[in-house]
Amino acid sequence: MIKQIKIFSGIHALIIILSFFVACKNYNDVPYAYKSPEKLNDNLQVANISVVNIDSALIYQTIKRIKGGALGQTHSLLIFRDNKLVVEEYFSGNRYLWEAPNHYGEYITWKHNDLHNIMSVNKSITSACIGIAIDKGMIESVNQSIFDYLPDHRHLKKDGKENITIEHLLTMTSGLAWTEWGTSYSDIENPIIGIWYSDKDPVSFILEAPLAHEPGTHFSYFGGHQILLGEILKNATNYRIDDFSSKYLFEPMGIDSVQWTNTFSNGVIECAGNLKMKPRDMLKFGITFLNEGKWNQTKLLSKNWVTNSSKPYTNNTGIKIPGEDSGKVGYAYSWWTKKHTTGGEQIDIFMASGWGGQKIIVIPEKQAVVVFTGGQYNSGTKQFSLLADCIIPTMK
């Protein structure tokens, strides 16, 4: 019986290896030579991939696959494992430019010090700022009415909207009749685009929508939730989110080069998809969540906030993100969640994800964080398939 089990285990392992090579077909004709990430003055520990428990040969084949165009425009890939950055690769592609065809601006070879538009990854950063404000007592609770901190809009506190809490904004369960997913991001009929063309102030634009569902019961993806969170943060703390995030989030991590790029005419900051960051700084944000809210032993967020960011909120499950290959996912405190099975093992993953292929993927069971940036604005992304088939299986 023991011999039969050993034979079965060997066959099972062989199937996994063969499946890997089917999913990650050979790109040996693509030139590539691995180099250890460069040690910079940013408090990121770096190492050669050989010192962590990763199958480096398969990772090299994965990078060749990216260079060969298997994922379209991928601009960077960073892999952090066992407290070390061991893969840091940059590729060629276009800068984001909304008004250009396919949103493609200047074509460049991306480098480690280039700021990248992180799109909706911004939402997870906005959420973290709310968490910090609550931890510091500047906001009492996620269960507070949003109108406690929106005094100029209390005339809209009616028709069921008085029941919308901060937690409902964090989890996109406000019940307001908005969704981004029915229309292209190139179309002003999309509310996150149309808000810029409205003659209303952005907070009124968002809150004047009718209530389609009881708050807390129905998920509907709309960046207006995070725009409201930014205004709530400002009114609760007397800091705009750019200043608050700099003081309480980015500076403690040694990050000093982020750019908040879009502000409405009345001074409201777009907090849903507005930031430009370096991929290394995206990684540091992910590491903080991997380490239960700590950056290099400095506590930035409570463990409870990280837990609520990594577990889906109530009914926020079974969600399919348009243009993404991640299958059905959950939604937490502005992070996507996923239960993934690999090699017979089920692991929990949570992700900050943005349009075009921007991702911070936290994999606690593997003590890993993976970062992507990209430019797939008008076509689907294949990053999760690459992660599932070609990266996670290399982590022993």
Is 272 inside any structural domain? Answer: no
Is 198 inside any structural domain? Answer: yes
Is 225 inside any structural domain? Answer: yes
CA–CA distance, 207 with 224 (Å, rounded to integer)? 9
- pLDDT at 19 exceeding the cut of 90: no
Is 258 inside any structural domain? Answer: no
Q: 105 and 172 share a domain?
A: no
CA–CA distance, 34 with 10 (Å, rounded to integer)? 30
φ, ψ (nearest 5 deg) of residue 10: -65, -40
CA–CA distance, 148 with 81 (Å, rounded to integer)? 42
* Residue range(s) defining the domain that contains residue 339: 27-114+278-394
CATH of the domain at 210: 3.40.710.10
Please write the tens of the pLDDT for every residue from 236-267. 999 999 999 999 999 999 999 999 999 999 99
Q: 42 and 105 share a domain?
A: yes
Please write the tens of the pLDDT for every residue from 306-340. 999 999 999 999 999 999 999 999 999 999 999 99
Is 217 inside any structural domain? Answer: yes
Please write the tens of the pLDDT for every residue from 98-156. 999 999 999 999 999 999 999 999 999 999 999 999 999 999 999 999 999 999 999 99
Q: Among 220, 237, 253, give the residue marking a domain's end.
A: 253
Q: 315 and 365 share a domain?
A: yes
Q: Among 253, 286, 302, give the residue marking a domain's end.
A: 253
3-state class of 359 per DSSP? Answer: strand
Q: 80 and 159 share a domain?
A: no
CA–CA distance, 167 with 334 (Å, rounded to integer)? 10
Run of H or E residues at 259: strand 259-260
- pLDDT at 385 exceeding the cut of 60: yes
Is 268 inside any structural domain? Answer: no
Is 15 inside any structural domain? Answer: no
What is the number of structural domains in the chain?
A: 2
CATH of the domain at 386: 3.40.710
Q: Among 189, 218, 253, give the residue marking a domain's end.
A: 253
> Backbone dihedral region of 234: left (phi > 0), alpha (psi from -120 to 50 degrees) or beta?
alpha
Q: 157 and 223 share a domain?
A: yes
Tally the residues of the chain. Answer: 396
Q: 287 and 388 share a domain?
A: yes
